[in-house]
Amino acid sequence: MKNSHIIVSAISFIAAVYCLAALPLGFKVLAMLPFVFSVVFMFLFPISFMNASSRITVTLVYLLFFMRMVFIPVYGIIDGYYIGEVSSTLSKYSTMSVGLSLYEFVAVCGILALIVFNKKENNIRQTLNLAGNKTFYSLFVLVLIVLLVLLVARGQFVSTFEFGFKSIGGDMERSGDIEEGGWGRLLITIGVTFFYLLLTSYFVKKYRLSLAQKYVTYSIILAMVMISIISGERRTSQLYKGFACIWLLIGVYPIYKKRVTSSLAVVAVIVIAGMTLYKQYHAFLYETYAEALSNAHGIGMSTGILDAYFYGPNTISKNLAFADMGHLSLYNLFYDFVRNIFGLNYIIPRGYPLTSELYNLTLSYGEEETGYLLSSVGYGYAFLGVGLAPIFTCFNVFVMLLLERAMRTTSSIEMSYIWAFLFMRFSFGFLGSFPPLINLTSRMLLVNGGIVLVAAFFNKSKTELPNEFK
């Protein structure tokens, strides 16, 4: 749509007028969020979007800012969030929260436009092939089979993996995440990933030899199964896998782009919707999902939840209140980074709390170490002050650009999946504090990427090394 940015800007401006008219006196400053979004989007989005090799990053950055700056204030008015009993913290810090949000938005979009405008366009994807040695990958699949047999023998398979929808029942409790388990669970996720990649490469090879559409169908079904495997409560994990599967398959089957995207997107939405029902409406307390729905008090997300997910004004206000307590130092910043790097996190002493844990302990009066989210701008403000508050958000977006470039230019089936997975992780977390992003990224690059590197060297006599390993 050639003039879509004009339409979005107009909608945002109308939202600003609505917010100015409908918000209570103490919160009218929130109307600045959609107003500034409409102006910046009108002028900077077209400049950033011109470079085809960065369009996914640009689109997702503006989409998440739209949710924070336009959708949440409007939805909060409709929801009665600002008119009713609202957080006293938001009331006290509303002006500063909005000011930092605007500063962050302008800084990120300005730097993004500058980088993308001067960036050489490279939107031609390489022909993707399996870079690593199949026998080497098969060793991890064999380990996976052994571990799954052990899980079945111990009756722990269902508590570790579920398919499509999470199991519920009157005696069920909320489960954790497989990614947060020990080495056994890590080996399971590695085995599942490379089993999927091995099968996909087999179907791709068969398709290239015969051009038979059935191999495209097999690949799509396999990806559906991959997306439907639930290994914890985190809905975003299914989103990352869904995007990675879509990106990989449209790379190997470019003429079936629409079919791949629509089929896998539908499956991802269904699985995420089921997980939302499980978590949001406590389906684990009921015998069936239908019973959970019937006992739900209103279907939909509250403004408070959306504000937390997209790091809205109330969440940033809480971050600022915590930062102003003044009990953080640069040692906390250093410790956060080191403790979240995979490998180092096993040798660094754990007796000292992370900043996110301190934040949660403060808000929960010492009861919980998780549950509340730190925004990247709040994190930057806490350690570097107002002037450098957006620096972590800018860095997150810069990493997104690097990851998008990597997933577009790789010649490896394995790295195409890995880069796309990490890209989506950063994309839906770029408004959050940086240390948690390091955790998954370093683990996946060092473990999965390391496996691909070793497997590629075992196979280098038969195929060319991936671009990133040359």
Which pLDDT value is given to residue 305? 87
Residues 188 and 178: beta-carbon distance below 8 Å? yes
Residue of 181 and 448 predicted with greater confidence: 448
Residues 164 and 212: beta-carbon distance below 8 Å? no
Which pLDDT value is given to residue 358? 93
Of 70, 60, 27, nearest to 317 by C-alpha is 27
DSSP states along 320-365: HHHHTT----HHHHHHHHHHTSTTGGGTS--SS--HHHHHHHHHTT
pLDDT classification of 173: cutoffs 50, 70, 90 = very low
The tokens of 291 are what?
Answer: 């019973």
| Statement: residue 336 has pLDDT above 80 | yes
Which pLDDT value is given to residue 165? 44
Q: Phi and psi dihedrals of 431, rounded to 5?
A: -85, -5
Which amino acid type is present at position 448?
Answer: N
| Statement: residue 87 has pLDDT above 60 | no
| Statement: residue 5 has pLDDT above 90 | no
Angle between helices 235-252 and 257-280 (to 10 degrees): 170
The torsion of the CA quartet 126, 130, 133, 134, rounded to 10 degrees, works out to 180
CA 143 to chain centre: 28
Q: Is the dihedral of CA 245, 310, 438, 411 positive or negative?
A: positive
CB atoms inside a 10 Å sphere around CB 170: 9
- CA distance linking residue 397 with residue 220, whole number of Å: 30
Which pLDDT value is given to residue 242? 95
pLDDT classification of 466: cutoffs 50, 70, 90 = low
Determine the average pLDDT of the residues in 349-367.
88
SS3 assignment, position 163 = strand
Determine the average pLDDT of the residues in 82-109.
82
